[in-house]
Amino acid sequence: MTRATAKPGHPVRGLPRAFKPSLAVLALLPMAWLLGQALLGGLGPNPQETLIRDLGNWTIRLLVLVLLVTPLRLALAWPALVQVRRMLGLFVFAYATLHLLAYGVFDQGANLVKVWVDVWQRPFIAVGMAAWVLLLVLALTSPATVVRRLGAARWRRVHRCVYAVAALGVLHFFWMRAGKLDFGEVWLWGGLLAALLLLRVPMCRKRLQAFGSWRVQRAAAIK
């Protein structure tokens, strides 16, 4: 990863020491909760469905969180925030993997033939699978050594795949809910992700950056 460097005149603000570990603990809590409920039989009458859906929900929530890092970093003029991005990204991958495993094991009885048939019968499963494959690529290219070998420019291009993951994830969610005509949450998470992608358009990105510098300058002036 690139080291956070401040522009001249900007104070360098590191992350508080407990910031990253606390974030990791918070991201682990839902997993721990679901595991506990699964062991205690607290997942309700249809535990497979609860487990699969909750893991999917947490995947999309963490995806929103990881995509929030860059806009927040710019708007707060706080480059050090980038240090939590990889960790959050790996949590997205972890939840997506558990979501997929829960589906494969508990819904399809760990039968790969059944999974294969299901992928072709239900396009929303195929879309979810595609998103997971992209996440796998991102996870595999996340260690520092791989980043170095790829070179920053190529690494960045590969990791733009996360935008496709967001789009596929929302489509997967939308299609899943289409049967119930129940799109409230789809709009919520889809809208948030769309807004976060929009903030990456060069024009919006520049505005965010300008806002960040303005805040820093104002803070300096007040001092």
Which residues of this protein are in contact with other proteins, per CB under 8 A? 38, 41-49, 51, 106-107, 109, 117-118, 121-124, 175, 178-182, 184
**Residue 112 or 221 having the CB closest to other proteins:** 112
**Residue 19 or 106 having the CB closest to other proteins:** 106
Q: Which two tokens stand for residue 77?
A: 């003029």
Distance between alpha carbon 167 and the CA centroid of its chain, in Å? 12
**Residue 23 or 129 having the CB closest to other proteins:** 129
What value does the CA radius of gyration of the chain take, rounded to a whole number of Å?
Answer: 20
Least CB distance to other proteins at residue 55 (A): 13
Least CB distance to other proteins at residue 133 (A): 21
Least CB distance to other proteins at residue 180 (A): 5
Least CB distance to other proteins at residue 134 (A): 22
**Residue 39 or 153 having the CB closest to other proteins:** 39
**Residue 133 or 185 having the CB closest to other proteins:** 185
- How far apart CA 150 and CA 140 sit, in angstroms, is 12
Least CB distance to other proteins at residue 47 (A): 4
- How far apart CA 29 and CA 32 sit, in angstroms, is 5
